[in-house]
Structure 1
Amino acid sequence: MTIPAPPGTVSLSQAFRFWLKLGFISFGGPAGQIAMMHAELVEKRRWISEQRFLHALNYCMLLPGPEATQLAVYIGWLMHRMRGGIIAGVLFVLPSLLILIALSWIYLAFGHVGLVAGILYGIKPAVVAIVLAAAWRIGSRTLKNGWLIAIATTAFLSISLLHLPFPFIVLAAALLGLLGGRIAPAIFKIGGGHPASRSHARFGPALIDDDTPTPAHALFSWGKLIGLTVFGIALGAAVWGVLAAIFGVATPMTQMGWFFTKAAMLTFGGAYAVLPYVYQGGVETYQWLSAAQMIDGLALGETTPGPLIMIVAFVGFVGGWTKAIFGPDSLLIAGTLGACVATFFTFLPSFIFILAGGPLVESTRDNIRLTAPLTAISAAVVGVIVSLAVFFAEHVFRLSLTLAQWDFAAIAIAAAACIALFRFKIGTIKLLLACAIAGLVVSYFPWQS
């Protein structure tokens, strides 16, 4: 078989068009997005070899934050320096932000219209099934022995029954992993794989191939690491300072800036893992939105392209709208600003991690002392995600939280969604579309009135 020639040089404008397209079609959560990037960049376009692709993915999996977004930033940075990374990351997120702003406005302005309510009625049970599937997917890859299962169980009980804050659970798991990595390192070795093709598969030579030398801008330098880290922190502090100067320190916009920065640093294990923390802050602490709105926001987030952590844009939009920071006549402007603030502070750390720390973290990714705490965190994340599914189920399946009145139609939709996900491996978009139709049909029956 004739091996095709390597592709020609990829211009920044070509990369711009690809990342913009990807931003609009990247459905399916992180697994689907990573698989889509692999199919496009490794198999079809051959911009990067599979080994280099997995090398970058391994790095992103070790970091807090949305790994698919960070992988896009990494590949863009590797190909076109810092501006390429910024373009890739921004275009991966921007379409989702714009779509969620529009959907959030429709939800708040017309959420009680029968058509919209019926669609949401069907989507919310599907979200319960999707969250359970996420727990199963992460758990099957992470919980390789009884000790890790025990960590997951403890995390579930800690957040569900003891109502311990999510950061405390993450810190406790990290310390346990740090200790375990020294005493019993075999227990905390990372297992599993990534959603890509087999490593020995050949797709022809790539523009950035296995033996392509590391470009000069990707070589490690303490000066670049410190300089870019300081610049990123200063940028975040400057934006927060502007918000504080305009609105005041103890106001929703400045509170969102600090809160979502902390949330970004805790996003080990994907968006589902940090949602309990976002719920605790957004619903209980700051009261930007209600518990029911939080569930609706996740349902809307599942229907849009881009990273699932983009639910923070919905939280920010509802918070700005609810608090009416510009008065009752400018709710859309307030909501839009809240969504943008939440998105900026959530994703800024991811850009700093990739652009500043890529070369350093790559060189240490096989060090058990580094990976053991992250393995323990991943185990705890499984328990946290299960607790999230229980929380959603309680609010979606019960007609009254004070009485034992169950919504059997919603339970039936969720059960069918679980069968579709676990047994038939149906895609997220098809599942949500089918459940939305089911919700419309059921919502017009007499017993739903």
Structure 2
Amino acid sequence: MQQLRNNQLTTAYSIKEPAAEGLHPYSLRQLVLYFLKLGTIGFGGPVALVGYMHRDLVDDRKWISEEDYKEGLALSQLAPGPLAAQLSIYIGYVHYRILGATLAGLAFVLPSFFIVLALGAAYIQFNGLPWMQAVFYGVGAAVIGIIAIGSYKLTSKSLGKDWLLWAIFLVLAVTTFITENENIWLILLAGFIVWFYRTRPKLNSQVNSVLLSPVLLGIGTFWLDGKLSQIALFFFKAGAFVFGSGLAIVPFLYGGVVKDFGWLNEQQFLDAVAVAMITPGPVVITVGFIGYLVAGVPGACVAALATFLPCYLFTILPAPYFKKYGKHPAIKAFVDGVTAAAIGAIAGAVIVLAKRQFIDFPSVLIGVVTAIVLFRYKKLPEPLVILVAALIGLIIRLWV
């Protein structure tokens, strides 16, 4: 009898264990390698990067469910900090919790950080990089085409035929285009509108809700010199209090770096933004380039860490509540509304960027041709498109 019982336990264990091992369709190592690759070759800024994650992890590999992706996008849009980096952290959290979130975020950010460090060293060595503007001319135009296609795919996939979601999308796209700023209050309002419309809550009923109030976290005393302490505090505020994706942080950086502290002049700051746009990974990584120009490698490390620490905390702290309550009808309705608003804001940002980037007929042609080619040849790698656009930009601006 004891032997039979042992055999039953052994059989039950042997059946259960492979199921547990195969619970997730990917390993943590595979996820980290994916984000290392995306951080190395992912051009186009936050709009393109979140589109790549959806295409690769939801549509193609099916590692992440559509619901988990939408929850991550909604949380990333609600919290301050860089959108794409927050989404990578949340995706890492989905199946591998704190360790996955930490490793995914680091893998996504570090490649572009090392690239901007190298560019910062070259910038100092050669007293500026005049070729950057020529490269950015071609790359920037191609990026508009890339993010336009990414926004189109994200829109058609997430909104479906829901008229209310489309209405929210259009309102946020128009307001973002007119104001050239993502309004966090409109995004929150969109979530409440869909929640109220779908669930019809009674005013006297008890509603269990998840309160996503940002927790203000202070920085302890740094054993750093005065300038590094200033850098840490300034960039921590930039990461903790600036909402919106990618370029939304640029006006805040300009006010502090150029106007308040005088760390960089106008041209140096513009070059820093150009570096962010012509390098892969999150646009916010320009903080590493700025930090390097101000205080060398220590300045770059402190600036990057201070900027990305808040977005990491604002992602992993509310993530358990999103995972636990995200399937509740009221929460799901709220997330759907926020997602539609976020995608509308992204679409509006595409138009704003296009208005600034398309300065002449060749730039318009580069952007349009890029969009057509990527729409026609869906498997064409974006880095190849970026390389061709960079070469065209150099030819047009330097030799024509």
Q: TM-score, structure 1 length as denominator?
A: 0.62
Closer, same or farther: CA 90–41 of 1 in aligned 2, 3 Å: farther
Structure 1: give runs of 5+ residues left out of the alignment. 43-49, 185-228, 267-272, 305-309, 325-329, 399-406
SS in 2 for 1:339: helix
Match of 1:161 in 2: 178
Closer, same or farther: CA 412–353 of 1 in aligned 2, 3 Å: same
Match of 2:234 in 1: 255
Matches of 1:390 and 1:17, distance apart in 2: 37
**8 Å Cα contact 1:313-1:338 kept in structure 2:** no
Q: Residues 240-262 of structure 1: CA distance to partner in whole angstroms, max 9, x if unpaired?
A: 23359965999553132133124
Match of 2:386 in 1: 432
Deviation at 1:429, TM superposition (A): 1.4
Q: Hey, which of these two has a bigger chunk of helix by percent?
A: 2
Deviation at 1:165, TM superposition (A): 5.5
Asked if 1:274 is matched to 2:245, the reply is: yes
**8 Å Cα contact 2:139-2:393 kept in structure 1:** yes
**8 Å Cα contact 2:141-2:366 kept in structure 1:** yes
Asked if 1:118 is matched to 2:72, the reply is: no
Asked if 1:299 is matched to 2:277, the reply is: yes
Amino acid at match of 1:391: V
Q: TM-score, structure 2 length as denominator?
A: 0.69
SS in 2 for 1:242: coil
Closer, same or farther: CA 106–370 of 1 in aligned 2, 3 Å: farther
**8 Å Cα contact 1:152-1:379 kept in structure 2:** yes
Deviation at 1:112, TM superposition (A): 5.2
Closer, same or farther: CA 385–57 of 1 in aligned 2, 3 Å: closer
Could you tell me which of 302, 322, 340 is aligned with 2:305?
340
Amino acid at match of 1:320: G
Closer, same or farther: CA 434–72 of 1 in aligned 2, 3 Å: same
Q: Residues 6-54 of structure 1: CA distance to partner in whole angstroms, max 9, x if unpaired?
A: 59979xxxx7765654343234534544665689998xxxxxxx6x867
**8 Å Cα contact 2:31-2:104 kept in structure 1:** yes
Deviation at 1:280, TM superposition (A): 4.3
Match of 2:45 in 1: none
Q: Residues 258-285 of structure 1: CA distance to partner in whole angstroms, max 9, x if unpaired?
A: 331244xx5xxxxxx6235324433467
Deviation at 1:319, TM superposition (A): 4.4
Matches of 2:68 and 2:347, distance apart in 1: 29
**8 Å Cα contact 2:135-2:278 kept in structure 1:** no
Match of 1:150 in 2: 167
30-39 or 131-140, larger mean C-alpha shift: 30-39
Structure 2: give runs of 5+ residues left out of the alignment. 1-16, 43-48, 77-82, 202-211
Deviation at 1:130, TM superposition (A): 2.1
Closer, same or farther: CA 374–349 of 1 in aligned 2, 3 Å: same
Closer, same or farther: CA 443–69 of 1 in aligned 2, 3 Å: same
Match of 2:330 in 1: 369
Give me the CA root mean square deviation.
4.2
**8 Å Cα contact 2:358-2:364 kept in structure 1:** yes
281-290 or 426-435, larger mean C-alpha shift: 281-290
**8 Å Cα contact 1:131-1:388 kept in structure 2:** no
**8 Å Cα contact 2:195-2:334 kept in structure 1:** yes
